[in-house]
Amino acid sequence: MNYKKQNMKVLFQLKDDDKKRQTFSNILIIFILAMTVFMIAGIINTDEEFSLESIFTMVVLPLLMIGLYIPLTKKTFVSTLGIHKRGGLIKWESIKNVNYHKPNEKGMVIVKVLYSIMSKDASADITINKDDELLEVFKETVKEYRNTKKKEKKSGK
């Protein structure tokens, strides 16, 4: 919601990035919900009293786990503000370097983005299929937005 106040516009989504992590997170959320339903049904069927521990185990703990895994289910996308990966934002101004590695045996190009966050260097890996037209679009977008953001920063805007 904070980014929408800055007139963020989504340019495109990367469908191949973090595919395994998204699938695993979705399966884990479904498993947590199913276990919660089974625990509630088990307590109702045994006519036990609801204690504070059982309420915590059945309701609060699954909600916390789901809250932790929801950002991991989101797809990576590129916007006018930067690259959004796993619920975090890599701003165009903070990107120092972008390296495009050769395709691996599965035909995937790993893009290593080196950026600065709180005066420390960090890196993020983004996976794009070498035959996908999004690879060229991604390259052009990174080139364009990194250059314009640096110019704006130098000119004092």
| Each residue's pLDDT tens digit, 74-92 | 888 888 888 888 878 888 8
Average pLDDT, the chain: 82
With a threshold of 0.75, does the pTM exceed it? no
**CATH number of 6-17+75-152: 1.10.3470, 3.40.50, 2.60.120, 2.30.29?**
2.30.29
Structure tokens at 18: 């973090």
pLDDT tens sequence across 17-65 = 778 888 888 898 899 888 888 887 887 788 767 777 777 777 888 888 8
What number of other Cβ atoms are within 10 A of residue 118's Cβ? 6
Give the pLDDT score at 156. 53
Give the pLDDT score at 146. 78
Greater confidence, 69 or 121? Answer: 121
Give the confidence band of 112 by pLDDT, cuts at 50, 70, 90.
very high
Helix (H, G, I), strand (E, B) or coil at 81: coil
Burial zone of 5 (CB within 10 Å; 0-12 exposed, 13-18 middle, 19+ buried): exposed
What number of other Cβ atoms are within 10 A of residue 110's Cβ? 15
Mean pLDDT of 149-157: 56
- Amino acid identity, position 72: L
CA distance 114 to 99: 8
